Amino acid sequence: MVHTLVAHVEDRPGVLNRVSSLFRRRAFNITSLTVGPTDRAGVSRMTIVVDTDEHGAERLTANLYKLVSVLRVENITGVPTVSRDLAMIKVAAPAETRTELIHLVNVFRARIVDVAPESLLIEMTATEEKIDSLVEVLRPYGVLEMARTGRVSMARGTRPLGHADASMPGDELGLQAAAAAAAGDDGVSYSV
């Protein structure tokens, strides 16, 4: 099963390397990883998508908390979320198929952001499945190049990442969750 983990980390050099190395050392493949700034200065948000079972996701969460630069982690797989992916797709568009391609782009509610004599650059923000569908429809026309950001997810509602008590500082929140994860110890070592 695919799990989506959201981590708030210190915005410092080497943090991404430490997080991705943790997954590598534990032999987990990261399906998607996005990183960007948050509303708090000096804090970045990572959305990490990994294919593992529930036990593996719990182990990863516990191990992430052991990294000094990680402030908070939450597995948002089981909660209602809004998830989006951004794709930029360059497709061959000679004059004879250009009108058809423009119609397809409109049907998928994507946008054309650049027009060249023999190609179109299409931008689409949507679910991963909808972008996959657009790519499949465009393939017969000739996809020349594609770049995707990966999944960005946020829980629905007003509850912030971590706990219902948003007044608690991030570091205390991380320590509290790490202690809770350790309390449910099932004899598996989670050392880094």
pTM: 0.74
Residue with tokens 């657009």: 134
| Whether the domain at 2-80+157-183 and the domain at 82-148 fall into the same CATH topology | yes
Beta bridge partners of 75: 5
In this structure, are residues 48 and 30 in contact, taking their beta carbons and an 8 Å threshold?
Answer: yes
Q: What is the distance between the alpha carbons of residues 81 and 174, in angstroms, rounded to a whole number?
A: 21
- What are phi and psi for residue 72, nearest 5 degrees? -150, 150
Non-local CB neighbours of 178 within 8 Å, separated by 6+ positions: 62, 65, 66
Class of domain 82-148: alpha beta
Instruction: List the pLDDT tens digit at each of the 192 positions of the chain.
Output: 899 999 999 999 999 999 999 999 999 999 999 999 999 999 999 999 999 999 999 999 999 999 989 999 999 998 898 999 999 999 999 999 999 999 999 999 999 999 999 999 999 999 999 999 999 999 999 999 999 999 999 888 876 665 444 333 444 444 444 444 444 444 444 443
Identify the DSSP state of 173: H
Domain residue ranges of the chain, discontinuous segments joined by +: 2-80+157-183, 82-148
Query: Quick one: 2-80+157-183 is in which CATH superfamily?
Result: ACT domain (3.30.70.260)
How would you classify the pairing of strands 30-37 and 143-148? unpaired
What the block records as the tokens of 175 is: 């320590």
